[in-house]
Structure 1
Amino acid sequence: MAISHGEFLRSLQPMKRDYRIRVEDQGRRFLITRDGLDMEILLAEEQIIRMGALSMPRTQVDFIFHGASPQQVSDFFSRFELSFRRGGG
């Protein structure tokens, strides 16, 4: 994702209304639960991509689901996408 670790954490905050989120490993691992959904999000080391004068953050994000139903996964990503949507024009 084109996002810094700090931006990721800020974007994840609204999801606390619907999910229990525990932050570990200094903000690089997130344990998320809700009604049988058990998952974790792992953030790789933050990198910077440079394209001429433009530079932007890049973070590999891994989603690991443990025993979640397909509907729970779909519901999670629908909510995740809303939280991480950025304005564009």
Structure 2
Amino acid sequence: MSEISAEQVAHLASLARIDLSTEEIESLTSELGQIVEAVAKVTEVAGPDVPATSHPLPLTNVFRPDTVVPSLTVEQALSGAPDRLGDKFKVAPILDEE
């Protein structure tokens, strides 16, 4: 027997402001009941000795260590710029504002 009732489905639909017909409520009640039963079966199998997983294969971090390295100076960074304004790149306005 389903743990989800038609009244619960209708209540949730009203909270979500979804207008469901009687047929849709009956169909969703059955489908949600099947989902609850499937989750219950998985819960029975997954005991305390079974670790929770989010991926079937173990994943490792592939990023390199974050280390400080020398960077470009302002002059080096702006050396190829077509136009500059002090220590910044100067670009054309895009919103017709100055």
Shorter-chain TM band: under 0.3
| More helix by percentage | 2
Q: What TM-score, normalized to structure 1?
A: 0.25
| More strand by percentage | 1
Q: What TM-score, normalized to structure 2?
A: 0.24
Larger gyration radius, structure 1 or structure 2: 2
